[in-house]
Amino acid sequence: MSVEKIAVLGAGSWGTTYAAVIADAGFPVTLWARRTEVAEEITTAHTNERYLGDRALPELLSATDDDIAAVTDAEVIVLAVPAQTLRENLSRWKPHLRDGVKLVSLMKGIEVDTGKRMSEVIAEVAEVADSQIAVVSGPNLAREIADRQPTATVVASADITTAEVVAEISANAYFRPYTNTDVVGVELGGAVKNIIALSVGIADGQKLGDNSKASIITRGLAETSRLAAAMGAEAHTLSGLAGLGDLVATCASPLSRNRTFGRHLGEGMSLEDVIAHTSQTAEGVKSAPAVLALGKRYGVDLPITEAVCAVLAGRLQVDELAGLLLSRKRKHEGPPPKEQP
């Protein structure tokens, strides 16, 4: 396949890592970094010390601090900026997008003001067809992938051809992409799991055991699946890489930003102190109110999301969270019981 120009916008840990994935697949790629010194470091030293330490980046990866130069004439543009900045950034880039450009979202969030998924924001702001948009999701812990540890992921698009193009430019010896056309399910799995991971982190910070955390993860998957189904997603998506796979990785790994953020809360730090202490975005913190609003709009009960929102707003103490979730009314789990003769 011939793709002459690929740009990745956003030089954080996941943006840099995904750019390296593309380069390791044999495709030259330009990474946009907001800070000049970061762009120079990536291009000359082939490292991004702040986010990836001394891990060596591929020779086919170069960087620039000129975002307009990066997007101009690019055939594939990968968006790796914080979810809540997407609208503003994409509005700036839109006049410079070439016709037919494929726009790829790495972002796992819901826009706070509108409740829109990232692909919906892209379609609206860039004024492109859904067939030009793809979403990458799954168990994507950046540092493990940067170490070239084997992993699988999902590339979703309403157009299977677009999904296959994006999968091809990112398929290499350690990164295996699977295609999917259920964009709603893939995006919701990626967004809601961050909130569940915050809850698991809080439980971990309180020194609760694996039974408690497994209960939260399991009920979190059910919560995510209910919302996804109400919004038209396919059930199998939530049981796959973009649902269960991403949820387990994010809730279990100490590399997870959202789990780490929650752990600090569980240990007694204030929200303000955790924000000051952490240097990377925990998308679940900002997306939680938007996800809860989606639940209300679609008539779906989201008890974990509701409890996390209450903790973040200061209406619920962290030591009350687990008890609140387990004190809910008991009910049957599974298919309806058969009537006895």
**With contact defined as beta carbons under 8 Å apart, do 156 and 181 qualify?**
yes
Separation of alpha carbons 318 and 210, rounded Å: 18
Alpha-carbon distance of 246 to 192, in angstroms, equals: 10
Closest CA to 218 of 239, 201, 233: 239
CB 146 within 8 A of CB 17: yes
Assess whether 108 carries a catalytic annotation: no
Contact 290, 121 (CB under 8 A): no
Q: Could you tell me if 135 and 118 are in contact, meaning their C-beta atoms sit under 8 angstroms apart?
A: yes
Residue 118: both structure tokens together:
């990232």
Q: How far apart are CA 258 and CA 262, in angstroms?
A: 6
Catalytic residue among 108, 193, 213, 286, which? Answer: 193
Which are the contacts of 157, defined by CB distance < 8 A and separation ≥ 6?
Answer: 130, 131, 133, 134, 135, 163, 166, 179, 181, 183
Q: How far are the Cα atoms of 52, 138, 186, 293, 324 from residue 134, in angstroms, in the given order?
A: 25, 13, 10, 25, 38
Q: Are 104 and 134 in contact (CB under 8 A)?
A: yes
Residues annotated as catalytic (active site), given as ranges: 193
